[in-house]
Amino acid sequence: NAGVTQTPKFRVLKTGQSMTLLCAQDMNHEYMYWYRQDPGMGLRLIHYSVGEGTTAKGEVPDGYNVSRLKKQNFLLGLESAAPSQTSVYFCASSYLYRSADSGNTIYFGEGSWLTVV
């Protein structure tokens, strides 16, 4: 019963380094998302994907790239990390909504704490 798994959970980067956050879901969901959470700002959408091979920009996409080569995986890349990207990153997935649905439809990973020094 893995759900949504994010790796790594913690990482410290130096300014200018690159890294990739991996999100994996085992629920066969179509939609996947990457959010960042900063104090007092709530969760802000970075990029999202509505299906394998598709990606789209969210509210705060600058400095990040994403790929969805496989339906179950959604990768978030930082090409040249900056201190402003110090944040907690959450991945989420969901299925296509149906009006008769009830209950939870968006599943979150446990978060990845990234510090850029």
Partner 1 sequence: AQKVTQAQTEISVVEKEDVTLDCVYETRDTTYYLFWYKQPPSGELVFLIRRNSFDEQNEISGRYSWNFQKSTSSFNFTITASQVVDSAVYFCALFSPRSQGNLIFGKGTKLSVKP
Integer Cα distance of 23 and 74 in angstroms? 5
| Contact flags string 88-117 toward partner 1, x per CB under 8 A | x-x-x---xx-x-xxxxxx-x-xx------
Residue of 34, 80, 87, 36 lying closest to 57 (CA atoms): 34
Query: How many Å apart are CA 84 and CA 16, to the nearest integer?
Result: 12
CA distances from 37 to 3, 17, 46 (A): 20, 21, 10
5 versus 17: smaller Cβ distance to partner 1: 5
Per-residue x/- track, 31-70, partner 1 (CB under 8 A): x-x-x----xxxxxx--xxx-----x-x------------
- The footprint of partner 1 on this chain (CB under 8 A) covers a number of residues equal to 29
Long-range contacts of 66-70 (CB under 8 A, 24+ apart): 66/34, 68/32
* 1 contributes a contact to partner 1 by CB under 8 A: no
Residues that bind partner 1 (CB under 8 A): 31, 33, 35, 40-45, 48-50, 56, 58, 88, 90, 92, 96-97, 99, 101-106, 108, 110-111
